[in-house]
Amino acid sequence: MLFMADNLENYGDNFQQKSKYVRDKLPRHILNWAKKPKTYKVYSDTIKKIKLPEPKFNPSIEFWNVIKNRHSSRKFTPEPLSFMELSLLLYGMSGINRIFPQFAFRTVPSAGGLYPTETYPVINNVTGLEKGLYHYDIQNHSLNVLKEGDFRRKVAEGCLDQNIAFTSAINFLWTAMIGRSQWKYLQRCYRYIYLDAGHIGQNFYLIAEALGLGACTIGAIYDDELNQFLEIDGKTETVIYIGVTGKKK
């Protein structure tokens, strides 16, 4: 793979050094609670909303077998996934698992409980669902239908033409709402955004393994091609990571 010279600048090294916390030199800023960004992205003008089934957990799954066997799969059969499998994946990757009076916590940890990640499932092959681009409404464990159509090629192209995003039954596109974390962590927020996404990615792998599905995460993306597809600006919200899944071949 060829990288042009402007990709060889050391902005990554600079970021790592500049975003370090140093004793007695912590960035001083007062949290502006009046300007705290909203925790949930709300789509009010969707084609339709679809309620996901309550997740049904199979109690016979052995936790340590799941850990032991987790791996990336890149070969999928053309069999569809079920609506329940989609529901379990979404719940386990970002669902609300406990509510204290003012605050809804989730199945994944997040720095400061700020939850900057949004999930956009691209449905290629799920029984009972049209192919298309969806958004996960976390609060209501529902799907917002954003665009109907076959987007397998579009997403695979955005993943540096990786065919696994074409043959998969579902592609989860994870974006970061930068301001949600930056409100508190300023420039250091990027560290936490990526760490948060890693937690989601690991739950994704483990749930897929528990369900007997194949899964692979993808970090190699043409960011702005996918941002355009999602109709997001790539600055306040930007794609950061992708998970593809399907029945294992």
Ligand X SMILES: Cc1cc2nc3c(=O)[nH]c(=O)nc-3n(C[C@H](O)[C@H](O)[C@H](O)COP(=O)(O)O)c2cc1C
Check residue 208 for interaction with ligand X (CB under 6 A).
no
Check residue 213 for interaction with ligand X (CB under 6 A).
no
Check residue 217 for interaction with ligand X (CB under 6 A).
yes
- State in angstroms the smallest separation of the CB of 125 from ligand X: 19
Separation between Cα atoms, residue 105 and residue 95, nearest integer Å? 8
Q: Which residue has the tokens 């955004």?
A: 193
Check residue 163 for interaction with ligand X (CB under 6 A).
no
Nearer to ligand X, 120 or 204 (CB): 204
- List the one residue from 122, 218, 230, 240 that touches ligand X (CB under 6 A): 218
- List the one residue from 61, 67, 195, 220 that touches ligand X (CB under 6 A): 220
Task: Check if the beta carbon of residue 47 is closer than 8 Å to that of residue 90.
Answer: no
Size of the site for ligand X (CB under 6 A): 9
* Of 121, 120, 230, 117, residue with least CA distance to 169: 121
Nearer to ligand X, 165 or 189 (CB): 165
Stretch that binds ligand X, among 16-24, 137-145, 172-180, 212-220 (CB under 6 A): 212-220
Nearer to ligand X, 87 or 162 (CB): 162
* Of 239, 245, 159, 155, residue with least CA distance to 207: 245
- List the one residue from 117, 125, 162, 245 that touches ligand X (CB under 6 A): 162
- Contact set for ligand X, span 45-74 (CB under 6 A): 71-72, 74
- State in angstroms the smallest separation of the CB of 218 from ligand X: 4
- State in angstroms the smallest separation of the CB of 68 from ligand X: 12
> Using CB under 6 A as the criterion, which residues of the chain lie in contact with ligand X when the complex forms?
71-72, 74, 162, 216-220
